[in-house]
Amino acid sequence: MDLLKEIKTVSILGCGWFGFALAKSLISSGFDVKGSTTTPEKLRTLSAEKIEPYLINFTADSVLTNERFLRTDVLFICIPPKRNSAELNDYPEKIESILEASENKARKVIMISSTSVFGDENKIVNEDSETNSDTDSGKVVLAAEQIFRSLRPNDYTIIRFAGLIGPDRNPGRFFAGKSNVPNGLAPVNLIHQQDAIGIAISILEKQAFGRIYNACSPTHPTKKDFYTKAAREAGLKEPTFLDEKTSWKIVESLNVPEFLGYQFQVTI
């Protein structure tokens, strides 16, 4: 495997909920971090956290970028597809233009993906399993993964996050007060922001590039148990669920334990 002599500089394309938290954690670990936003007002927010700020925007029609931002040891692509919008179907082309712009500049690229590339096919899935998404967002993310793998066939690194929870993403609100929510006995596939960041940094520290990682908590309580408890702990009205298990999946990882040896910090 092609190892970097040392990883000093990390660029994070998309300092949203995950990317901003990752950037702050990397800064505290001693990395030099460049962060991008599409919002001019957020540049000051990035600077305040010692993140070198850049205004960068990739759309289907135009590219606003910066060569200094793309010149980095590791580039994280942290841009999820925009749901329920005309931009959803442009997502694979957007990822392709990012990869082309970063060629011969970013030494390593890590793409943040999603376990939505797997459909609910009533089985356990891991990195070796066939992908067969049953959602529109999952399909475009999978198409973006395939573009990445074709452009950097020997050097792609993909982190597929399960449902992200953590600060400002209180899962108790999700079903609070709802009645007879279907599929109550289906297992949940979630990951806390703390572990999402931990896995990303572990890849850097171990230079474990060049493969796909399913990033999902190894515990999978039922939807009924998890969301009822979450609503109770948030002081919200508890939902009720139908005791049925109609469509589900359990996302497991072979590569996180084997290549990272990562120990999850937050129990779902």
Residues 148-187: tens digit of each pLDDT:
999 999 899 999 999 999 999 999 999 999 999 999 999 9
Residues 81-122: tens digit of each pLDDT:
987 677 788 899 999 999 999 999 999 999 999 999 999 999
Q: What is the mean pLDDT of residues 234-258?
A: 97
> What is the rounded CA–CA span in Å between residue 212 and residue 79?
17
**Which pLDDT does position 209 carry in this prediction?**
96
DSSP codes joined into one string, 75-97: EEE--PPPTTSTTGGGHHHHHHH
0.85 surpassed by pTM: yes
Tell me, what CATH number does 209's domain have? 3.40.50.720
- For residue 178, is it within any domain? no
- For residue 236, is it within any domain? no
pLDDT cut 70: percent of the chain above it: 98
Contacts of 143 (CB under 8 A, 6+ apart): 91, 92
Confidence of residue 79 (pLDDT cuts 50, 70, 90): very high
Q: Structural domain tally of the chain?
A: 1
Residues 181-217: tens digit of each pLDDT:
999 999 999 999 999 999 999 999 999 999 999 999 9
Q: Provide the domain limits for residue 140.
A: 9-166+190-219+249-260
Contacts of 165 (CB under 8 A, 6+ apart): 171, 190, 191, 192, 193, 268
Contacts of 161 (CB under 8 A, 6+ apart): 18, 112, 113, 114, 115, 191, 196, 215, 216
- For residue 230, is it within any domain? no
